[in-house]
Structures are given as C-alpha cells and as structure tokens.
Structure 1
Amino acid sequence: MWEAFQARVVDAIKGKPWDDGVPGRWITGDRMADVVLLPPLFAFGFVLLRRVLVSFLFEPSGVAVMTRRMKKSGSKWDVPKQAEFLRKWNESCWKCFIYTVFTTFAFLATCTEPYFTNPQQFWAGATQVPLNYYVPLKHALFYHIQIGFYLQAVPFLMFIEVRRKDWAESFAHHIVTLGLMYYSYYVNFTRPGVIVMLLHDVSDIFLEAAKLSRYAGRQSAATAWFAAFALSWIVLRVVIFCRVIVLSCMIDPIVMIALPYDVDPQPHYSIFATLFMVLYFLHLYWTWLILQVVRKQLTGGTASDVREDDDSDDG
C-alpha cells in the first residue's frame, strides 16, 4: 500500500491525474495536486495574516492593556518584561482569532450534514477503502486550510512561540495531527476528519480567552473562561472524541464496508488506531494539567496556565 501511495505521489508530480475513483470538487482540478500545492500556499498566507494582525491589531491592543496595568499598579515594567508580555498577548490573540474562524467554518460546513448527529453516516455510500464517496468542495478546502495552518504552526512552535513545560507534547500533537490530516485525506476519511477538527478547535477558543483575560488583569473573567474551557475540553476531547469519533472509526468501517463488501481494511485500520491512541493519550495528559489548575483554583489560587515556567509576568 505504501508503495502504491509513493507511486501516486510521483504520478501527481509528473502531472498524471489521481482520484482513486473518489469523485469530488477539486480546486486545482486534481485531488493529489490540491493536497500537494495548496497547504504550503495557505501556510504562507497564515504567516502573512499573523504578521498583519499582530502589527495593526494585536500589539496595539496589548500595549494599551500593558499601559493600563502599569498605571493601575503604579509601577513600570522593565523592557524584557514588557516584551514577554506582548509576546504572550500576541500569541493568544492570534490563536483565539484563528480557532474562532476555524470553528465557525467547520460548524457551517457540517451542521446540515446527516453525519453531524449520526456518526454512522460518516461511511454511508462507501464500498471500498480508501472510501469512494463524493467529497464536497467545502470539506476539501477546509482540509487544505487546516493542513496549511499546522504546516506553519510547527516552525512557529519550535522557534517563535513561548516555550512551555509541555513543549514536547505540543510538538508531538502537531506532528500527529498533521499525520492524521494527510492520511485521512489519502483514505478519504474526510467526513469524520472535519468533525474531529471541529471538536478540537472549540475548547481552544475558551483557553486563549482565559489567558487574555488573565493577562489583562481580569481574574473573574479569566476564571469564567477557564471553566468554559475545562468543561468543553472534557466533554468534546475526552468523552465525545473517544465515544463517538474513535469508536465509530474503529467499528463502523468494519461492519459497514469491510464485511459487506469483502474489503481488507488494513493497513489503514491499524494506522488510524495508532494515531488516534497517541492523540487521545495526549488529551488525557493535558486533562491532568487542567485538573491541576481546577484544584489550584478551588484551593484559593488563580486560573493560571500550569504549563508556563513562570507566571510572574501575567499577574
């Protein structure tokens, strides 16, 4: 199977069409050309968009917040402390903005689909693996946008963003996410793929809103946003992701495709099971960190990000 995939990549580079019998609306006119060419373009676009938003919106608002906090406390921060504050502020502003956009896009692309409330519909119409049902333009486009985002997110995480205690876990998460996106596109698990992206992006909005509130010195708002984050994380990433998405991907392709149509689901079945388990164990690790923050809050602390080595700059 891997040799066949390599051959298809070579064919795409040579300009030969590749569709595996999968009908759909491809932006460039070819399914493989879409996934090879578009994500790097979107990645470059995200870098430019982030630079523009930081320069004209996020950093000016951060300077205003920082100035208000210094005036309120009657003290002046030194230059390194100001730079670190703005770095964290800009990062959270960007993530809050982009995850809000992604969540809105994914919800609008799936809310009217039958599989939004019935996961068995993920597989309806497919008779082989890779799945051979129709891929609408909105799903293909969202896949390329998300892949492009994570392509640029990896170097940003490595060289630019604040390095927290769970940096290694975050890096592993980004790599596993890219692997799942590319591979699910290859085998055309695009219906569950878009839902997985939706489930994962919602809670990140609340987390970044909580950080921004804390950076702004609004502890009550930070606590409220963090409560929404913790609740959405546990419900969406721990419960629904496991009981709905993972369970459906592990059982329904066998029951609805492999057995009725005498299709061998390997190696896709084992690869997806492995990637899902790695992702889910990362979720459980971060859930443990979240519960630490909840315990700290209940014992009279603040809803700070326990991943950070030093919270003194954040109040």
Structure 2
Amino acid sequence: MEMLPDLWKEDYWLPPGVTWRDMEQMGDSNRPRPLDLLIALPLALGFVALRYMFERFVAPPMARCLGVKNRFQVTAAPSPNLESFYIQNRREPTQSEMEGLMLSCRKTQRQIETWFKRRRSQDKPSKTKKFGEAAWRFFFYLTAFVAGLSCLVDKPWFWDLRECWRQYPFQPMERAHYWYYMLELGFYGSLLLRISVDVKRKDFKEQVVHHLATIFLLSFSYCANYIRIGTLVMLLHDSSDILLEPAKMFNYGAGWRRSCDTLFVMFAVIFLVTRLVIFPSKIIHTTLVLSMEVFEPFAGYYFFNILLMVLQGLHIFWAKLILHMVYKFLKGKLEKDERSDEESEVEEEEEDKGGEENKDPGVDCYWEKNSNPHLVLRLRGGIIEPSLKQLAQKYNCDRIICRKCYARLHPRAIKCGHTRNIRMRIL
C-alpha cells in the first residue's frame, strides 16, 4: 500500500471519516485485505487445468450418453495459395482477388468458393467441444450456487437488505464468504484467460466486457468490504446460469428436444425475473439508496454502482436475445442458440437461399430421417461426389445428397436428426 499511495487513498475506498487504521482494528482474520486477491491468479490457472481434465475425461462420456455426434466434414484440398490467403484475411476474396487466385491456382471460381466454404467449416468448433464448455460451466455454476446458498441462507442480509449496510464498513468476514469470493474471482479469471480459444459467439465483445466488469466488481467490493451485497450479486447471477448450460447440453444431444425446450423456458423466466426485475429493484436500489442511510457518497460508491449499471446494460442486451429466441420458440422455429458463431449462421442462410431460388414443387416424393450415423456426409456447394452412388447402392437408397441440392428439388425437405443431410427416395 505504501508503494501506491494515490491508488489506496482512503477517499477512494472507504466512507468519509473512516481510515485504514480504523479497519485494522478488526483484526487480519476478520477483515478483507487487498493482498488476499493475489490468490485469485493461481486459482484461475488451477481452474484452467481442472477444466482441461474435465473436458478430456468427464465431458466425453457425458456427451456419448446424450447422443452428441459431430458432423462429418469434407476436408479442403491442400492449396498453399488459398491457405495463405485464408490465414491472412479470414474472409471470402473480392472479385479482383478471386481473379488473381483463379490464375495462380488454376481453379474455377466455383472450385475456389467451395474450397473456402470447406476451409471455414474445418475451423468451426465441433459439437463435442461446445458440449464440453457447457458441461464445465454447468458443473461450476451448480457447485457455486449450492455452496453460496448454503452459506447465505441463514444470514440476516439474505432476508433483509438493510442488513447489508448495518455497521458498515466494520463488518467481520466469514471464511466461507472469503472462499466464495476467491473461487468466483478465480473462475471468471479463467474464463478471461481462455476466451480467445473458446467457442467464439456473436456476443464475444459483450462477454469480454462482462468478464472484466465482474472481475473489477468482485475485486473492488472485496477491498471495500462490500462482501454482503457482493455475495448476493453472485448468487443472483448463478441462479439462472445453472439452467442455461444444461439446456445447451441437451440441445447438442440427439433426442432431447423436449428437455432442452423445458430448461430453456425455465431459464428465460428466471433470467428475466432475476436480471430485469430483482437485480435493479433490489440490488441496485440497495447500493444506490439504502446505503445512503449509513454513509455519505464517496468515490468507491460511484465506481461500484457504475459497474452494476454496466452489468445491467448487458442484462438488457441478453434479454433482447432471449426474447427473440422465445418468439422463435413459440413460432416453432427455434433450432439453435441465438449466440451461435456468425460464420455458421451466414452459411446456413446461404444454403436456405439456394434452396428457395430453385423450388420445384411438382415432383412427387417422400423422405425419411437417416438413422445410421455412418452415413453422415457434409457436402459444400451442391457437389455430388461419385462415392455417394456407391454408398446409396450399399445402403439400399436411391440417392444421398446435401441439403442444398435436395432443397433445389424438394423445398419441403426435412432435416436428418443426426446431420443436415437427407436420405431421400423418389416414388
């Protein structure tokens, strides 16, 4: 503290009239100290290692039990020029760039477009990877929620929010609340360390802001002895997360649609109630209004409430996505998480457009789901390879084609339960 006198000025962290010397009278074992936060770094690294072991040895058997299967991907043919362009730009080439690639690679435009689609498909995270991330988060959120509830349910501030500020800042800290804080801080630190290698979704920037705001919020509230209100904030957030992650897990599996939908509806209700009703009306109202009954505003008071407002802004953003998903669910069109990665969403839209442009409703046909996972075939650009004819003869079906080709012939096609490919027979 002596090395950074300006950072640790009492005006920033403590109410007017309270000094660090006054806080030291509580004893080292009963008061939060800034140096205690250093343990969060090894805990974050420990969570990274534990998560690696969990996703390697625990998540795969769980995924097999739920029927999680990865799509078969057609590997892009080796092409040094196209690979170099893809690594440097991570996007489709423009028309001028396409002409240059056609000359250098001696390929047609259709072949190059197909190559880029296949190459992007290789970079997409598999279902087992997504399942492992969801399972790990569910394991932690469930453990944290149960542990947090058990150490808070008998506390007076759990039932009466005014107790959060009684005798503040001279409030002794229990060891259970200390570990509750450190484990949550270490967990969010591990999420921030791995965010660049985790599944990248459309709300990537919002996730970064959320993790940073949470870490600052936990760190500051611990140093300023906002322990009581801080534990309530953590418990409130974990209450809805324990339903979101298992909903994702069932969504990645096969044959669990009803369980996924039930959990999603429960999550949506709890999220909207806790984040848009309880959080602003109880938590923020407590920190903004009720705290003023005990002390006058100071710098830490404003900083803490600004961080809570940032979280509330993120709650509103995610609530908008959830309500959009609820609308699609009621319409019967909900097939995936609204936060799915953008590339996947764009490619699916392209395939849908390809089918709509080539409708031919005059063909009499019927279709059925392919129950054999070994027939999983992922074709790009509507190309039917010769090997498909052999597979069709071996498994006694007329033809096996990709979704885009099938939609051109039969726009009412039903997707297979295992993949987006379709087994079809012409009458």
Give the shorter-chain TM-score range: 0.7 to 0.9
Contact 2:33 2:223 in 1 (8 A): no
Report the CA distance between 1:133 and its aligned residue: 1.1
Question: CA 1:174–1:292 in 2, change beyond 3 Å: closer, same or farther?
Answer: same
Report the CA distance between 1:303 and its aligned residue: 5.6
Question: CA 1:203–1:303 in 2, change beyond 3 Å: closer, same or farther?
Answer: farther
Picking from 18, 21, 24, the partner of 1:21 is 24
In structure 2, give the amino acid aligned to 1:56.
F
Aligned to 2:287: 249
In structure 2, give the amino acid aligned to 1:20.
M
Task: Between 53-62 and 228-237, report the one with greater CA deviation.
Answer: 53-62
1:214 and 2:251 correspond: yes
Contact 1:214 1:314 in 2 (8 A): no
Contact 2:142 2:242 in 1 (8 A): yes
Contact 2:250 2:260 in 1 (8 A): yes
Aligned to 1:55: 56
Report the CA distance between 1:60 and its aligned residue: 3.0
Aligned to 2:242: 205
Larger helix fraction of residues: 1
Picking from 34, 37, 40, the partner of 1:35 is 37
Quote the Cα distance in structure 1 between the aligned partners of 2:49 and 2:155: 33
Picking from 180, 183, 187, the partner of 1:142 is 180
Residue by residue over 1:182-217, the C-alpha shift from the partner in whole angstroms, topping out at 9 and shown as x without a partner, is: 111111100010110000011111111111111112
TM-score, normalised with respect to structure 2: 0.62
Question: CA 1:81–1:160 in 2, change beyond 3 Å: closer, same or farther?
Answer: closer
**Count of residues paired in the alignment:** 288
Question: CA 1:154–1:231 in 2, change beyond 3 Å: closer, same or farther?
Answer: same
Picking from 279, 300, 311, the partner of 2:332 is 300
Q: Secondary structure at the residue paired with 2:26?
A: coil
Quote the Cα distance in structure 2 between the aligned partners of 1:83 and 1:274: 35
Q: Secondary structure at the residue paired with 1:200?
A: helix
Question: CA 1:173–1:82 in 2, change beyond 3 Å: closer, same or farther?
Answer: closer
Aligned to 2:361: none
Matches within 5 A, 1:166-177: 166-177=203-214
Picking from 136, 140, 143, the partner of 1:94 is 136
Matches within 5 A, 1:258-273: 258=295, 264-273=296-305
Question: CA 1:122–1:93 in 2, change beyond 3 Å: closer, same or farther?
Answer: same
1:232 and 2:281 correspond: no
Residue by residue over 1:45-88, the C-alpha shift from the partner in whole angstroms, topping out at 9 and shown as x without a partner, is: 21121112112110233245456x58xxxxx7238499611110
Contact 2:32 2:173 in 1 (8 A): no
Q: Secondary structure at the residue paired with 1:33?
A: helix
Contact 2:40 2:182 in 1 (8 A): yes
Quote the Cα distance in structure 1 between the aligned partners of 2:328 and 2:320: 12
Quote the Cα distance in structure 2 between the aligned partners of 1:121 and 1:303: 45
Report the CA distance between 1:253 and its aligned residue: 1.6
Report the CA distance between 1:141 and its aligned residue: 1.3
Quote the Cα distance in structure 2 between the aligned partners of 1:282 and 1:22: 39
Picking from 131, 151, 166, the partner of 1:124 is 166
What are structure 1's unaligned runs of at least 5 residues?
Answer: 9-16, 71-75, 259-263
Report the CA distance between 1:20 and its aligned residue: 2.8
Identity %: 29
Quote the Cα distance in structure 1 between the aligned partners of 2:128 and 2:239: 24
Question: CA 1:293–1:168 in 2, change beyond 3 Å: closer, same or farther?
Answer: same
Task: Between 107-116 and 301-310, report the one with greater CA deviation.
Answer: 301-310
Contact 1:22 1:135 in 2 (8 A): no
Residue by residue over 1:124-157, the C-alpha shift from the partner in whole angstroms, topping out at 9 and shown as x without a partner, is: 122xxxx221111111111111111111111211
Question: CA 1:176–1:116 in 2, change beyond 3 Å: closer, same or farther?
Answer: same
In structure 2, give the amino acid aligned to 1:62.
A
Residue by residue over 1:79-115, the C-alpha shift from the partner in whole angstroms, topping out at 9 and shown as x without a partner, is: 8499611110100010111100110111011000011
In structure 2, give the amino acid aligned to 1:135.
M
1:106 and 2:108 correspond: no
Quote the Cα distance in structure 1 between the aligned partners of 2:6 and 2:290: 25
Question: CA 1:24–1:61 in 2, change beyond 3 Å: closer, same or farther?
Answer: farther
Quote the Cα distance in structure 2 between the aligned partners of 1:303 and 1:205: 21
Contact 2:32 2:225 in 1 (8 A): no
What are structure 2's unaligned runs of at least 5 residues?
Answer: 11-19, 75-121, 349-417, 421-427
Contact 2:23 2:170 in 1 (8 A): yes
Question: CA 1:278–1:30 in 2, change beyond 3 Å: closer, same or farther?
Answer: closer
Quote the Cα distance in structure 2 between the aligned partners of 1:245 and 1:307: 27
Q: Secondary structure at the residue paired with 2:126?
A: helix
RMSD: 2.8
Picking from 127, 138, 150, the partner of 1:85 is 127
Quote the Cα distance in structure 1 between the aligned partners of 2:299 and 2:191: 29
Q: Secondary structure at the residue paired with 1:268?
A: helix
In structure 2, give the amino acid aligned to 1:275.
L
Aligned to 1:190: 227
Quote the Cα distance in structure 1 between the aligned partners of 2:152 and 2:32: 23
1:45 and 2:40 correspond: no
Quote the Cα distance in structure 2 between the aligned partners of 1:22 and 1:180: 25
